[in-house]
Amino acid sequence: MAFKIPKATTPQEVAARLKNGEKLNLLDVREPDEWASGHVAGAKHIPLGQLTERLKELDPSKETIVICRSGNRSGLACELLSEKGFDVVNMTGGLNAWTEKLV
């Protein structure tokens, strides 16, 4: 099976889509302490280490934008989810590049 490069988006594109009222499926794969310090409103939290066991919580038929701190863990999560048939997009730069308000 050939390696498939996951789709990517920027924090600015995600923020613009949210501001336009789009309902996005956002998945934050950071650790619980990182999540508690602030996250994008409406995001679902599943730490990367729990992702395999919690796949049933996600809808493979809907595009999911995956978020982490810098884009590395979200990239790994995208690879894993893509192999399982999910439609995923990596938010490159992660929350380090996010300039909007966190909750």
Catalytic residue ranges: 68
Helices (H), 3-103: 11-19, 32-36, 72-83
Alpha-carbon distance of 40 to 56, in angstroms, equals: 22
Alpha-carbon distance of 6 to 89, in angstroms, equals: 6
